[in-house]
Structure 1
Amino acid sequence: METSFKVGNYEVGEELGRGAFGQIHKAYSLGRDPVRICAAKRLSAELDYQMNEAVGELNTLENLPNHNHIAQLIGHEIVSTHPSCIWLFLEFCDGGTLGDYVFRNPQNVDTKRQLAVQLADAVAFLHKQRIVHRDLKPQNLMIKDRTEFPILKVVDFGLATVCTHLDRARVHDYFTGSVIGTPFFVAPEVQSGHDHNWTTAVDVFSMGLVIWAMFDNLNAAVNARDDPYLAPCVRGPSGYPEAIGHFLRRGETVDQDTVMSNHPKRRNLVLRMIDADYNGRPTADEVFNNLMVIEDESDQESYQLSETTPIVATSQNEGETNSCCKIPLTIFSILLYCLIQLLKPVVLVIITIPFMIALILQAVCALVTCFFCICCNYNDIECVTYILKFKMVPPAFECYKNICSRVVNF
């Protein structure tokens, strides 16, 4: 059983995992919810000026405006050990990583659409704050809730910059792939080792790979015994997975047919995001706006489909339709149509009877008037005037015609 220890005003408990830049623990503070802790080990004491630069960067990150999809950096503590280290205290997310969520819910496309929009919104916010994440991957994308509507939170933003102040060589080795493991989400210009090419476009590249992997449920694990790892990759000559960034840096191109074949509009956007030339990639804000347009179109298509298509139950096997639910619906439609056709003459007769009675009364009254005029020796003009008094009003006849026409065309 792990023992807890105190760091500043926090009690640090169980270890949740380890990353390239430090350990992750679960910690508690008085009167607060549990928060996620990221520890970055520092160099020896003779490099205190680098520690000061890192702390200055952390102060900037802690003063960022709150955002729904950015894990809040609550604070930090410096521990003067040998070597010294910094503890970062961040908002705790209880839903696990994005990779965990996707492998638990592989078919939940609607939620994936929402998560993609949330991710683009978060990255666009960071870029507007002049922060380049540089390490976007499913492990740094946490899920806040495990409910039907999960909330995505970007974590470890700015950590690469902080760690650069501490150990530049280690950060360089991590992103260029010199350390153990394959940086699946690193852009090709980063793997080339030229720091001046590390712009916001590196985050757009990583975000494109995350969206691709999420919608296609891509698993980079070598065999079934390995833990699932959400990442797009190609198989190298040795059979081991090769990062897309490294693949593109060798001058190769990604087969478009292998990218999100069931989502053509998102595929076109993702292909632009993972362009080998970072100048050809859209900005994070453009990605967010494009995703919003795609989601609006998808919602409209879903609404139109629900308006015109009968709901049909499906069996457990994908693509197999339960035809038992379609037959009764068809028979009911036919019976309803036949009933309407049979009732049309009856309705016409019911409508016609009042008008026919009125016409008969008009004719009787006209005959009586003529007889009265003849008996009283009225002239022709006076007789016509009396007869016209009993004429039906023309609008009533027009109303009768319109009603009959609608019944016939129903």
Structure 2
Amino acid sequence: MGPKNSYIAYIEDHSGNGTFVNTELVGKGKRRPLSNNSEIALSLCRNKVFVFFDLTVDDQSVYPKELRDEYIVSKTLGSGACGEVKLGFERKTCKKVAIKIISKRKFAISSSGGADSTLNVETEIEILKKLNHPCIIKIKNFFDAEDYYIVLELMEGGELFDRVVGNKRLREDTCKLYFYQMLLAVQYLHENGIIHRDLKPENVLLSSQEEHCIIKITDFGQSKILGETSLMRTLCGTPTYLAPEVLLSVGTTGYNRAVDCWSLGVILFVCLSGYPPFSEHKTQVSLKDQITSGKYTFIPEVWADVSEKALDLVKKLLVVDPKARLTTEEALNHPWLQDEDMKKKFQDLLAEEDKLMAISQVLIEPSTSRKRPLEGEAEDAESTKRLAICTAMS
């Protein structure tokens, strides 16, 4: 019992190998109060097992009723200029999801006009709904209220960016596994007449914290669905990853799907070396001039550990002339990617993902032998119980 007839929930540590609340050790025989969204871990501070939801705290009413009816919105996973991404739980199944919240006001300002911003979000939803590929993020739901709410599958491993930021580099076999998947995803987009236009490590998500995992392309806010002959003349995307023809095409000739292949080349360069090919760091040459001339920074001692085949693929993607640049299909046929062990690893990861999905589907099927509660009597208790236990973080 707490002050003013309120209740305080606490956790008491009886474990032999440690209980953690929000990464801090409780200590054997000691107690710690729990606040809404506290994360409980066992043995190791990163081994999260539960999230505590305080059902007396009303932090859900800020969200539209249609969303609240289907999901519980939890902690913030990330944020950007136009909104944030939150962890969510499906009420019926307790499965975790990512809820992307886009502020209409901020989005309208950044898009220079409300009508265009609405079109952009609707374009993203239209694109996501029509796509079905294991390496492209899946949309689960969409709510258009005071803000936009896009419900997506949750990728537990976070962004590729976090694995390469700060001059970190990936092992070459890991680069190969990730890049193969990126190429398959972008090839699928191009075959369906879609250019992503904003490929970068922040928009490549990983399915788990394991080094070898499934990756998925996300964030289609800048994408365009192309007609047979359409070219785009809008300057968009992230400067470091923009193709030369994008920087040179404003109001002139336009550009096509080859822009994604350039961006993939930049991503591969960063993954293999740990640094970007084009940067304004320690140089007098502008970023635009570096990119349009195709003059990237090459540090021989860094690349000494990278195979000739990998470097050759990078060089053939970072070609200024889009007509001479490798397509996704040509890149997939490059000698570096003719690795049967890597492809088998990918197939094994896909099979494992399918198996986990099948198991979770079985777990959420309602039992036919359970007694049906008397009308209105047990449903509330059952619903509250489900809220309490659905927070288990796998």
So what's the TM-score if we normalise by structure 2?
0.57
With over 3 angstroms needed to count, the CA separation of the structure-2 counterparts of 1:14 and 1:172, relative to structure 1, is farther
Larger radius of gyration: 1
With over 3 angstroms needed to count, the CA separation of the structure-2 counterparts of 1:185 and 1:59, relative to structure 1, is closer
The aligned residue for residue 152 of structure 2 is: 90
The aligned residue for residue 29 of structure 1 is: 90
Residue number among 133, 136, 141 corresponding to 1:67 in the alignment? 133
The aligned residue for residue 145 of structure 1 is: 208
Q: Contact 1:62–1:75 (CA<8 Å) still a contact in 2?
A: no
The aligned residue for residue 273 of structure 2 is: 216
The aligned residue for residue 143 of structure 2 is: 77
When structure 1 is superposed on structure 2, of 114-123 and 263-272 the one drifting more is: 263-272
Going by fraction, where is helix more abundant, 1 or 2? Answer: 1
Structure 1 residue 55, shift from structure 2 partner: 6.1
Going by fraction, where is strand more abundant, 1 or 2? Answer: 2
With over 3 angstroms needed to count, the CA separation of the structure-2 counterparts of 1:252 and 1:109, relative to structure 1, is closer
Q: Deviations over 1:12-60 (max 9, x none)?
A: 332222234432222222125222233333339xx77657644653453
Structure 1 residue 151, shift from structure 2 partner: 1.1
Q: Secondary structure at the match of 2:76?
A: strand
Structure 1 residue 209, shift from structure 2 partner: 0.6
Q: Which amino acid aligns with 2:206?
A: I
Residues 4-403 of structure 1: pairs in structure 2 closer than 5 A: 4=60, 5-7=62-64, 8-9=66-67, 10-30=71-91, 31-42=93-104, 43=108, 50=116, 53-54=119-120, 57-80=123-146, 85-102=147-164, 106=169, 108-156=171-219, 158-161=220-223, 175=237, 183-192=239-248, 194=250, 197-218=254-275, 231-236=276-281, 243=287, 246-249=289-292, 251=293, 253-254=295-296, 258=300, 260-261=303-304, 262-290=306-334, 293-296=337-340
Q: Aligned equivalents of 2:279 and 2:115: distance in 1?
A: 43
Q: Which amino acid aligns with 2:188?
A: F
Structure 1 residue 198, shift from structure 2 partner: 3.6
Q: Aligned equivalents of 1:106 and 1:36: distance in 2?
A: 27
Q: Contact 1:133–1:160 (CA<8 Å) still a contact in 2?
A: yes
Q: Aligned equivalents of 1:237 and 1:59: distance in 2?
A: 41
Q: Contact 1:26–1:34 (CA<8 Å) still a contact in 2?
A: yes
Q: Aligned equivalents of 2:289 and 2:72: distance in 1?
A: 41
Q: Contact 1:62–1:74 (CA<8 Å) still a contact in 2?
A: no
With over 3 angstroms needed to count, the CA separation of the structure-2 counterparts of 1:260 and 1:132, relative to structure 1, is farther
Structure 1 residue 235, shift from structure 2 partner: 4.5
The aligned residue for residue 384 of structure 1 is: none
With over 3 angstroms needed to count, the CA separation of the structure-2 counterparts of 1:285 and 1:33, relative to structure 1, is farther
When structure 1 is superposed on structure 2, of 35-44 and 130-139 the one drifting more is: 35-44
Q: Contact 2:158–2:205 (CA<8 Å) still a contact in 1?
A: yes
Higher relative contact order (CA 8 A, sep 6+): 2
% same residue: 23
With over 3 angstroms needed to count, the CA separation of the structure-2 counterparts of 1:148 and 1:257, relative to structure 1, is closer
Q: Deviations over 1:178-228 (max 9, x none)?
A: xxxx7211112223352763421111111101011101122xxxxxxxxxx
Q: Aligned equivalents of 1:271 and 1:253: distance in 2?
A: 11
Q: Secondary structure at the match of 1:63?
A: helix
Q: Deviations over 1:243-273 (max 9, x none)?
A: 4x65122x36236675844221121221121
Structure 1 residue 136, shift from structure 2 partner: 0.6
Q: Secondary structure at the match of 2:141?
A: strand
Q: CA-atom RMSD, angstroms?
A: 3.6
Q: Contact 2:234–2:250 (CA<8 Å) still a contact in 1?
A: no
Q: Which amino acid aligns with 1:90?
A: L
Q: Contact 1:236–1:242 (CA<8 Å) still a contact in 2?
A: no
With over 3 angstroms needed to count, the CA separation of the structure-2 counterparts of 1:237 and 1:86, relative to structure 1, is same
Q: Contact 1:18–1:24 (CA<8 Å) still a contact in 2?
A: yes
Q: Contact 1:27–1:36 (CA<8 Å) still a contact in 2?
A: yes
Q: Aligned equivalents of 1:22 and 1:298: distance in 2?
A: 37
The aligned residue for residue 226 of structure 1 is: none
Paired residues, what number?
264
Q: Contact 1:211–1:270 (CA<8 Å) still a contact in 2?
A: yes
